[in-house]
Amino acid sequence: MGKYDDYKKQVLDCTMDLVRDGYIRGLGGNVSMLVEGEEVVVVTPSQREYNTLAVDDICVVDLDLKPVDDNGLKPSVETGMHVAVYKNRRDVSAVVHTHQVYASVFAIINTPIPALFDEVASTIGPLVEVVPYGLSGSPQLLENVVSKLGSRGNCYILQNHGILALGADLPKAKRAAELLEKCAMVYYRALATGKEVTLLPENMRELMEKIVVSKQDAEIKRKEEMKKG
């Protein structure tokens, strides 16, 4: 068994769950995770039908995108975006990028999703911001994503593209994507009624933000303590 096989399997299993649930279709979307204690990223490959993937097809690269465990396949063209997240958000160790349907509606109307439910906002943050458009894999997209990470949300909408969901591990990142889709679906349908949409009260939005940030800070502290040994 290879050194990174367990990580590869986690990435593959998460990807297949997202394919099964309709979050990823065909070639659209990608999944990665950061190897604990290393500057190494395990990520889905480029231009491969996800329902045909095996563990050995998952790529392993360093933070300069150089192969670490070379399987002859190119990592996703979006790997640079994943790495940019890892470099700028120390609490994040997993990234899920999908083209899920309802959240993508807000990607093409360039509209953020506000705090509608406390159980959602306490996981993904009180506001899902829109990252300005950039071509897939381009330096501009990386720059645009990094410019938004300071809000410390766990989900972002990529204008005319899809979504990013972040987490301390893959289950948390996948759960963030799922909660975002629930929220996007309800918000879309609520807006379609033409009636006023009620948001969480401001004091609850502030509380939800504190909850999200405290979890992130705890994860950063855990990583720092692990480095110290």
Interval 179-196 mean pLDDT: 98
Q: Model confidence at 52, in pLDDT bands (50, 70, 90)?
A: confident
d(CA 216, CA 211): 9
Q: What is the pTM of this model?
A: 0.96
Name 41's bridge partners: 34, 61
- Euclidean distance between the first and the last CA atom of the chain, given in angstroms as a whole number: 26
Tell whether the torsion through CA atoms of 168, 30, 32 and 14 is positive or negative.
Answer: positive
Q: Model confidence at 86, in pLDDT bands (50, 70, 90)?
A: very high
pLDDT of residue 70: 84
User: Please, what's the largest Cα pairwise distance for the chain?
Assistant: 57
pLDDT of residue 53: 92
Residue entry with tokens 């502290």: 221
**For residue 30, what is the domain's CATH number?**
3.40.225.10
pLDDT for residue 1 is more than 80: no
**Residue 222 half-sphere exposure, CB side, CA atoms within 13 Å?**
11
**Burial bucket for residue 152 (CB in 10 Å: 0-12, 13-18, 19+):** middle
pLDDT for residue 196 is more than 80: yes
pLDDT digits (tens, 9 = 90+) for 143-177: 999 999 999 999 999 999 999 999 999 999 999 99
For the chain, the average pLDDT equals 96
Interval 16-44 mean pLDDT: 94
What's the total number of domains in the chain? 1
**Residue 115 half-sphere exposure, CB side, CA atoms within 13 Å?**
22
Q: Model confidence at 105, in pLDDT bands (50, 70, 90)?
A: very high
Three-state SS letters, the chain? CCCCHHHHHHHHHHHHHHHHCCCCECCECEEEEECCCCCEEEECECCCCHHHCCHHHCEEEECCCCECCCCCCCECCCHHHHHHHHHHCCCCCEEEEECCHHHHHHHHCCCCEECCCHHHHHHHCCEEEEECCCCCCCHHHHHHHHHHHHHCCCEEEECCCEEEEEECCHHHHHHHHHHHHHHHHHHHHHHHCCCCCCCCCHHHHHHHHHHHHHHHHHHHHHHHHHHHC
pLDDT of residue 47: 85
Domain boundaries, position 65:
5-228
From edge to edge, which strands make up the β-sheet containing 40-43?
59-62, 40-43, 30-34, 94-98, 162-167, 155-158, 127-131, 113-114
